[in-house]
Amino acid sequence: MKNIIIIAIVLIVSLNIKAQNQITGKVIEIVNDGSEVPIPGANVYWEGTTIGVATKGDGNFSIVEPTAFPAIMVVSFVGYQQYTQLIEANTQLYIQLTPSLELKEVKVKGKVNKTKFSTVSSINMQTLSTGELEKAACCNLSESFSTNATVDVNFTDAVSGAKKIQMLGLDGAYTQITQENMPLIRGISSAYVLSYVPGTWIESIQIIKGSGSVVNGFESFAGQINLEYYKPEYAPKLFWNGYTNSEGKLENNLLFAKKEGGWKSNLFTHVSYFDKEVDNNDDEFLDMPKVKQVNMLNRWDYKADGSYHISLTARGLVEDRLGGTIENALNPYEVNIHNDLLEFNSKTGAIQPNLPGKSVGLQTSFRRHNQTAFFGENKYKGLQEGAYFNLIRQTYIGSTNHKLKYGSSYYADRYTESFSGIDTAFTDKVRVDLMTGLFSEYSYKWGESFNLTAGIRADYYNNSEKINYLPRLNMKYNPTEKMAIRFSAGKAFRVANVFVENASFLASNRKISIGSNLNPEIAWNYGANITYCFYLFGKEGTFNADVYRTDFENQIVVDIENQNELSFYNLKGDSYATSMQLDFAYELFDRFDIKMAYKINDVKSTYDYEGLKENPLIPKDRFLLNLAYATNFDKLVFDVTANYVGESRIPEHKDIAKECSESFYLYNAQITKKFRRFDVYIGGENLLGYTQINPILGTPVSGSNTAFDASLIYAPINGRMIYAGFRFKIK
């Protein structure tokens, strides 16, 4: 108790939602001989604010972050054309001004990287822009990473159509997924919410590897994925997107923006519909479930002279999935999944315009999520009613080189669950999770070359009656202005929801065994990263290398080593995940970009009666190659992506003779034709048609001797798929 009091006193000593870090860059001119000349004295400022600086003698500048991203940066200087750019995240800028006497009647548009690796932030972060997301159909969040090597996506099973992600070799449950730094995927939403965020709603995605900020919560084991939706100021007034594919699926997205007045607003709408029986492999199971989804989100923003900001968001969703066997199947098996979700979020922030390093903010979220999931004889019903509060205060000590954030968070979740299945049943089991947390984070900046962020959380969990202390450290050093070296270390904890997080394994005849007194999961994550930006033959390139290790103190082991059993129990031994990745991106010639990445995973856990062994269904290595070409003014855009997926261990099953899956290749491609307000695109996924042989094992009849299992998925279950769509925008 003494420790809690001490921490509380420290946190209350000095009293946003967002840290006001510095954005650095350089302003130059390219003269006739091709050399670069710095422009001193150029004005750099944020549009609509009084925040601005002048470039130094070498053309370099450092400006305080805007109060919110995205924001428009303006650079001007007498004798040069004014430069404007939409900045979506903290990044290092390299700005070229053009003399105003040249090409007065021509609008010059600079090339903006669609995936950015930051060399400024102490946290290892890459940002995916709208342009990156548009390289594929990107119907929802689970399909937003098809051209990114950091996040892997695969189907969870062969009957529900749900997808899951993996990051740093770990299941997506160990990645904190947020929407504008507020909780998005928690609890009952874990199984299907990846498909509940349409890609057309997303303005950018930030992917953070390793330990993130303590301000955002305690659940970040492998890292954080944060979504930024379109803001009213920068969103099109009207955005209409339609999509269809060769199987007959239809999707419609209609977005509106109100840009005028004190209160600005966005309305996001989404409808998905698929109602065909498709059984291309003649196994009497639907290749894709029938889906009906209606999804709406409305946000309202108000800003008052830069002194305070209010954001309100309401969301509602209803979805039904019907899968399993086709009509008149010899052994009928029904999959029926229903979700309805209501959510309300708010952000309130106050800043001191004359003291840009000081602010205070409150985040709140209220959610009600109801889910029923029937997989044959396994029937699950769950209701989550949750509330979240996060109070953040930011100040500085002496100067803005020494910043302090501190605050308090509170999570309250009430789960009401029922389950009936093979040898396991319970009705209306109620669990209340209460987490009360205090946090403090100190950031130090030494010139332009060194950043350090050190934080600690203390979270009390009511069901374990224990305080979890979670320290985190992120450091960044720039040996040169083009290179960043980072190190991170941190601790995280989470409470597992074993049924919804492992719903895919309910698509089987396994007997379910749940150990008594399942404890919260706790792990340490360590990592190092090098990012290098270079210019070769006048073209920009990026090299990125990192290695991360996660060591579990406790983990809920999901044991599927016995083909007839699904067991959950506390870890008794070692469990770790090591992931190494190399990324390379370069513009080979004008408007032709190449991006390559290679990743190695080493993931092992200790299983009862089995000892330490590789985790199943996790590829040992992966390789990605993305080629992108655009004609002048982006009138035609071509994208081709090739993925190599290495072998993974398959749990023992009587219908599978091999211990490891085969490696395979996936090829996707898309062509986009752009008009003034209208884009038309056509593309294909899994162009070679590679699929997993026999994704559904055994027969779905009562009795464990059949060893029915539709959850051992390591490769695509659908063959070649062609799609087409359009985007219409009025700005």
Closest CA to 228 of 144, 321, 295, 102: 144
pLDDT at 579: 98
Under the phi-then-psi rule, with left for phi > 0, alpha for psi from -120 to 50, and beta for the rest, what region is 122?
alpha
pLDDT at 415: 97
Residue 263 has pLDDT above 60, yes or no: yes
676 confidence band (pLDDT: 50, 70, 90): confident
CA distance linking residue 216 with residue 339, whole number of Å: 27
Give whole-number Cα distances, 324 to 506, 691, 696, 705, 713, in Å: 13, 18, 11, 20, 16
Q: pLDDT by residue (tens digit) across 485-501?
A: 999 999 999 999 999 99
The number of helix segments (H) and strand segments (E) in the chain equals: 3, 43
Residue 7 has pLDDT above 50, yes or no: no
16 confidence band (pLDDT: 50, 70, 90): very low
Give whole-number Cα distances, 247 to 287, 329, 362, in Å: 10, 21, 45
pLDDT at 356: 65
Which 3 state secondary structure label does DSSP give 201?
A: helix
30 DSSP β-pair partners: 36
CA distance linking residue 492 with residue 501, whole number of Å: 18
Query: Stretch 145-164: mean pLDDT, rounded?
Result: 92
First to last CA, the chain: 56
Range in 81-90, 217-226, 250-259 with the lowest mean pLDDT: 81-90
624 confidence band (pLDDT: 50, 70, 90): very high
pLDDT at 306: 66
Residue pair 76/82 in contact by the 8 Å Cβ criterion: yes
CA distance linking residue 518 with residue 698, whole number of Å: 31
pLDDT at 22: 79
The domains of the chain are located at 22-104, 125-730
445 DSSP β-pair partners: 451
pLDDT at 584: 96
CATH class of 22-104: mainly beta
* Six token digits for residue 362: 């409150």
Residue 603 has pLDDT above 50, yes or no: yes
Query: Stretch 57-68: mean pLDDT, rounded?
Result: 81
Q: pLDDT by residue (tens digit) across 187-235?
A: 999 888 889 999 999 999 999 999 889 999 999 999 999 999 999 988 9
Strand-pair category, 521-536 with 539-554: antiparallel
Give whole-number Cα distances, 469 to 105, 456, 521, in Å: 61, 7, 13
pLDDT at 15: 34
Query: Stretch 109-138: mean pLDDT, rounded?
Result: 79
Residue 528 has pLDDT above 90, yes or no: yes
Q: pLDDT by residue (tens digit) across 709-725?
A: 999 999 999 999 999 99
Looking at per-residue pLDDT, the higher value among 300 and 91 belongs to: 300
Residue pair 243/250 in contact by the 8 Å Cβ criterion: yes
**What is the per-residue DSSP string for 170-194?**
EEGGGEEEEETTEE-S-GGGGTTGG
Do 22-104 and 125-730 share a fold?
A: no
pLDDT at 100: 57
Range in 235-249, 331-345, 347-361, 665-679 with the lowest mean pLDDT: 347-361
Query: Stretch 258-269: mean pLDDT, rounded?
Result: 93
Query: Stretch 88-105: mean pLDDT, rounded?
Result: 66
Strand-pair category, 238-245 with 250-258: antiparallel
Looking at per-residue pLDDT, the higher value among 154 and 32 belongs to: 154
| 125-730 has CATH 2.40.170.20 classification | yes
CA distance linking residue 519 with residue 570, whole number of Å: 7
Closest CA to 419 of 318, 503, 362, 335: 503
Give whole-number Cα distances, 35 to 27, 38, 98, 191, in Å: 13, 10, 14, 54
Query: Stretch 669-673: mean pLDDT, rounded?
Result: 97
Residue 112 has pLDDT above 60, yes or no: no
Side-chain half-sphere CA neighbours of 100 within 13 A = 8
Residue 32 has pLDDT above 80, yes or no: no
pTM for the full predicted model: 0.85
Query: Stretch 645-661: mean pLDDT, rounded?
Result: 93
Residue 110 has pLDDT above 60, yes or no: no
Helix (H) or strand (E) run with residue 12 in it: helix 2-12
Residue 409 has pLDDT above 90, yes or no: yes
- Determine if the peptide bond prior to 695 is cis (ω within 30°): no
Range in 151-155, 357-361, 690-694 with the lowest mean pLDDT: 357-361
pLDDT at 12: 36
Q: Hey, which bits of 262-377 come out as E strands?
A: 263-274, 290-304, 308-324, 334-352, 355-375
Contacts of 261 (CB under 8 A, 6+ apart): none
Residue pair 730/238 in contact by the 8 Å Cβ criterion: yes
Give whole-number Cα distances, 493 to 176, 237, 388, 641, in Å: 11, 42, 17, 36
Q: pLDDT by residue (tens digit) across 317-330?
A: 999 999 999 998 88
Query: Stretch 610-637: mean pLDDT, rounded?
Result: 94
* Six token digits for residue 437: 């947390």
Q: pLDDT by residue (tens digit) across 345-387?
A: 999 998 776 666 788 999 999 999 999 999 999 999 999 999 9
* Six token digits for residue 176: 């904190």
Residue 700 has pLDDT above 90, yes or no: no
DSSP 8-state class, residue 510: P
Range in 89-98, 112-121, 523-532 with the lowest mean pLDDT: 112-121
